[in-house]
């Protein structure tokens, strides 16, 4: 009988109906992940990590790109709910961290990755990096080179990651007994144009900074564009340090010094947390904060000594 059934399956080219199976088992073996910007290589790597782990556990993954808009994110969350996904890995859009996904997703479990609410909510877990320590270490590196006039271009402060990176930046200054210059703190929108715009403002100051720290890779690219546009040599006349690495960063001139986040590992752990919860296994304690790495290349050097 088994042989006859298998022959019939081959002859008819039968494929199981996963939707029907999911309705019967009340489980679709599908999870979803939503990120703010798939043009950013950090989120591409995060999605790949989640996909690789999900595939290894025989789960299908759906992907959404909110483009940093809560309305778009809500649309995806509603779609995931209608498709009966078993769970969602969520990287909230800026300004949407506090939005109640629960009203859209119902009882579908959620794991936060990279960004997450500061207050404990009903999510399964959260995973990211220690942004305060990462920014603190980056600033200490610039201080070790001799910089004292350091500007920062951070993302929207309503985002927990941007807020924590600014906190680490200021923390390093205070540890070095340097009074922060608030006029050198700019809040951007995590894109190239924002980085270029704010860097241009800094470079046109009568007393421009000797180094710029950007808390996002896209803003760092915009800042580098501004530096080259005004004709300054990097790092001879101004240093630039970015946050997040990307596979083509070594093709830039100068090659960018950056804080590297383990994006793929963040995605893998988030997917693991979610699938463990779905299948009733114990979930590791959260938040899980992974270590970052300072990648020293060519865009940072000692401040230029002005000739008397």
pLDDT value, residue 297 = 95
Q: Residue 227: what pLDDT?
A: 97
pTM equals 0.86
pLDDT score recorded for residue 176: 85
The per-residue pLDDT for 20 is 54
Axis-axis angle for helices 263-278, 41-56 (nearest 10):
40
Q: Say how far apart CA 245 and CA 54 lie, in whole Å.
A: 24
Q: Which of 255, 257, 260 is nearest to 244 (CA)?
A: 260
Q: At what angle do helices 131-144 and 160-175 cross, to 10 degrees?
A: 40
Mean pLDDT of 177-182: 88
In this predicted structure, the answer to whether residue 149 has a pLDDT above a threshold of 80 is yes
Preceding peptide of 235 cis, ω within 30°: yes
Rounded CA separation 252/44 (Å)? 20
pLDDT reading at 35 higher than 80: yes
Percent of the chain exceeding pLDDT 90 equals: 63
Other Cβ atoms less than 10 A from the Cβ of 140: the count is 16
Residue with tokens 């093709």: 251
192-203 and 217-229 are packed helices; what angle lies between their axes, rounded to 10 degrees?
40
Kind of pairing between the strands at 257-260 and 293-295 = antiparallel
Q: Spell out the SS3 assignment of the chain.
A: CHHHHHHHHHHHCCCCCHHHHHHHHCCCCEEEEEECCCCCHHHHHHHHHHHHHHHHCCCEEEEEECCCCHHHHHHHHHHHHHCCCCEEEECCCCCCCCCCCHHHHCCCCEEEECCCCCCCCCCCEEEEECHHHHHHHHHHHHHHCCCCCEEEEECCCCCHHHHHHHHHHHHHHHHCCCCCCHHHEEECCCCHHHHHHHHHHHHCCCCCCCEEEECCHHHHHHHHHHHHHCCCCCCCCCEEEEECCCCCHHHCCCCCEEEECCHHHHHHHHHHHHHHHHCCCCCCCCCEEECCEEECCCCCCCCCCCCC
pLDDT tier at 159, thresholds 50, 70, 90: confident
Q: What is the pLDDT of residues 208-264, one digit of tens each?
A: 999 999 998 899 999 999 999 999 999 999 999 999 888 777 888 999 999 999 999
Residue 173 phi/psi, 5° resolution? -60, -50
Rounded to whole angstroms, what are the CA distances from 21 to 16, 24, 28, 121, 272? 8, 5, 7, 32, 23
> If you average pLDDT over every residue of the chain, what do you get?
89
Token pair listed for 44: 């591409």
Cross-strand pairs, 214: 153
Convert the pLDDT of each residue in 39-90 to its tens digit. Answer: 899 999 999 999 999 999 999 999 999 999 999 999 999 999 999 999 999 9
pLDDT of the residue at 308: 44
148 CB-near residues (< 8 Å, 6+ apart):
178, 210, 303
Domains of the chain: 18-129+262-290 (3.40.50.2300), 131-260 (3.40.50.2300)
pLDDT at 120: 66
């Amino acid at each position: 009988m088994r042989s006859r059934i298998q022959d019939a399956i081959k002859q008819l080219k039968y494929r199981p109906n996963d939707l029907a199976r999911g309705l019967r088992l009340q489980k679709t073996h599908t999870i979803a992940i939503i990120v703010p910007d798939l043009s950013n290589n950090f989120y591409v790597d995060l999605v790949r990590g989640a996909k690789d782990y999900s595939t290894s556990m025989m789960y299908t993954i759906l992907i959404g790109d909110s483009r940093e808009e809560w309305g778009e994110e809500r649309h995806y969350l509603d779609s995931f709910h209608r498709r009966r996904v078993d769970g969602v890995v969520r990287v909230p859009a800026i300004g949407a961290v506090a939005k109640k996904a629960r009203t859209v997703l119902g009882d579908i479990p959620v794991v936060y990755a990279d960004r997450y609410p500061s207050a404990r909510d009903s999510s399964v877990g959260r995973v990211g990096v220690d942004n305060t320590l990462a920014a603190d270490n980056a600033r200490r590196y610039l201080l070790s080179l001799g910089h004292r006039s350091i500007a920062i271009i951070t993302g929207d402060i309503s985002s927990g990651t941007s807020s924590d990176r600014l906190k680490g930046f200021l923390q390093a200054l205070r540890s070095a007994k340097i009074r922060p210059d608030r006029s050198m703190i700019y809040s951007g929108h995590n894109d190239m144009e924002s980085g270029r715009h704010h860097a241009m403002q800094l470079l046109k100051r009568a007393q421009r900074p000797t180094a710029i720290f950007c808390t996002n890779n896209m803003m760092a690219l915009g800042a580098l564009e501004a530096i080259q546009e005004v004709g300054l040599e990097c790092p001879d006349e101004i240093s630039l340090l970015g946050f997040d690495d990307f596979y083509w960063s070594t093709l830039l001139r100068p090659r960018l010094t950056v804080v590297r986040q383990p994006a793929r590992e963040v995605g893998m752990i988030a997917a693991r947390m979610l699938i463990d919860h779905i299948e009733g296994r114990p979930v590791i304690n959260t938040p899980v904060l992974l270590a970052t790495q300072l990648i020293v290349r060519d865009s940072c050097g000692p401040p230029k000594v002005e000739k008397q």
